[in-house]
Amino acid sequence: MRSNSRPAAFTLVEVIIAMVVFMLLVGGIFTVVGVSTTSAREVTAIRLQGARIDSLQTLLRSIFLNLPPDARIDLRMREVKGGAAVELLIFPAPDFMDFQTGGSGAGLAIAALPDGRGACTVSMANFRSPVGEEREKEIAAAAWIPLLPDVRSVRWRFGLAGQPVLQETWDANSGRPVFVVFDLALTDGARPEFTFGVPILTQGSARPPRN
């Protein structure tokens, strides 16, 4: 006797529904993976920026605590490619900060250099001439080492003993501050502020001879 039953098979509508469900599941998986990857990237960037800020704070504290007795500080604005740079010049710098000139007695420039994206990068470089046109040429041609990117603005302020008002300007004729305040405004909205003490010179302080 012949059977009239047909082999079981999916209809076209069932196949289309299955494909739609599959694509929705795949899309959901890719969305979850994408969000997780973006979140991990953001967390990594935040941690890296935090580590850079901590390292910059440690470096600046070491610089100011070890200023040579005859060190002079100049704060200025300098026109560079992309805009104006807030620049702090220290001459002579501590010997351990002479990393580019190949000898002792170098100066140190710490500048917020425009990055062409509406922000700036705190960077540093060495120079050897204390003043004059030669110094400007050396600074302009220096190989800058980036320290902290994604900075919106910086501000240096200087404190003197017995004076409650911080100085917004400073040059080589201003003497030696008791402490230095460094304010940062980052592109992510954070505004860290650091205060660095500067050793007070005692009478008879002398710069040790350089080898």
Q: What is the mean pLDDT of residues 102-108?
A: 78
| CA 156 – CA 167 distance, rounded (Å) | 9
Which of the four pLDDT bands, split at 50, 70 and 90, describes residue 102? low
- More confident of the two residues 39 and 149: 149
pLDDT of 2-32, one tens digit each? 555 555 666 777 777 777 777 777 777 777 7
- More confident of the two residues 35 and 167: 167
The pTM (predicted TM-score) of the whole model is 0.76
Q: What is the mean pLDDT of residues 167-194?
A: 93
Which of the four pLDDT bands, split at 50, 70 and 90, describes residue 201? confident
Of 120, 113, 119, 116, whose CA–CA distance to 144 is shortest? 113
Domain boundaries, the chain: 56-150
Task: Provide the mean pLDDT of the chain.
Answer: 85
pLDDT score, position 41: 75
The proportion of the chain whose per-residue pLDDT surpasses 90, expressed as a percent, equals 55
**Cα 135 off chain centre by:** 24
Of 151, 85, 155, 80, whose CA–CA distance to 119 is shortest? 151
| CA 59 – CA 15 distance, rounded (Å) | 65
